[in-house]
Amino acid sequence: MEYKVFLEDYLSYLKNIKEFSNNTLISYRTDLEGFIDHIKTNKICNKTIKSYIKKLSLDGYSNSTINRKISSLKSFEKWLYEMNKVETIHSKNIKYLKIPQTLPEVLSSSYLNKLIDGIEASTDEEIRDKAIIELLYSSGLRVSELVKLNLNDFNNEKYIKVSGKGRKERVVPLNQSAFKSIDFWIKDSRNKIAKSSESALFVGNKGSRIDVRVVRRIVLKKLGTYPHAVRHSFATHLLEGGADIRVVQELLGHEDPNTTQLYTHISVKELKKKYKTSHPRA
């Protein structure tokens, strides 16, 4: 069976119908090509899948990486079944490997605010960098979402339109500080850097849409951490302030509420820490 031919059709489906990003397509290709190369017979079977998972483990892949590859295979087989190319979805009953739950890094609100307030905003580059960081902490955006923002996604109503995973759009409010920083960037500095035809909200030093790597470097330089830590801090601080978990789920763009549930554990951890330092008999 020509699985490599089917794979090209599947990737075309993901690109043109599902509108997955190039990075996601590369991940699917890598995952599935590795599995297809492992197949010894002319068709997928449970024995082949289990031996592939065992091989990945022996090769030193982490459980989270192996689970991603299992997920890619499950999606591929489901598509093959829907396209009448196979009669059975063998990976349907394959279980994901257990992953020890680790809590993401969270910066305290006082520390994070102190860092942001201390960011210089004199040059056009600095004004842009501060606007980016203010936006990340105000909205909890993924970096991939931030770099896709256009000028017309920002307005005077103090919210921003975000195109999230699967091109699902959501509206996220901005705090006053973030709104002022972005507004200042647009009115004072953006046109000095951006190419005249560029529609992106944030641009790099060459005038074109800023990319993910540049944003990560900016956050690391200014805050000493990475954008995902700012996103985690955003969610945790909202929950600690009394926000409903369903509101936080919507703001983060999570489809699965269990993903947002992780942040409640972080908040409980923070409460325990505060209790121990505050109660006289703790």
For 94, the token pair is 């394959």
SS3 string, the chain, reads CCHHHHHHHHHHHHHHCCCCCHHHHHHHHHHHHHHHHHCCCCCCCHHHHHHHHHHHHHCCCCHHHHHHHHHHHHHHHHHHHHCCCCCCCHHHHCCCCCCCCCCCCCCCHHHHHHHHHCCCCCCHHHHHHHHHHHHHHHHCCCHHHHCCCEHHHECCCCEEEEECHHHCEEEEECCHHHHHHHHHHHHHHHHHHCCCCCCECCECCCCCECCHHHHHHHHHHHHCCCHHHHHHHHHHHHHHCCCCHHHHHHHHCCCCHHHHHHHHHHHHHHHHHHHHHHCCCC
Q: Are strands 169-173 and 159-163 parallel, antiparallel or unpaired?
A: antiparallel
Whether the Cβ atoms of residue 86 and residue 80 lie closer than 8 Å to each other: yes
Burial 215-234 (b: 16+ CB within 10 A, else e): beebbeebbebbbebbbbbb
Residues involved in catalysis:
142, 165, 228, 231, 254, 263
Paired residues of 169 in beta bridges: 163
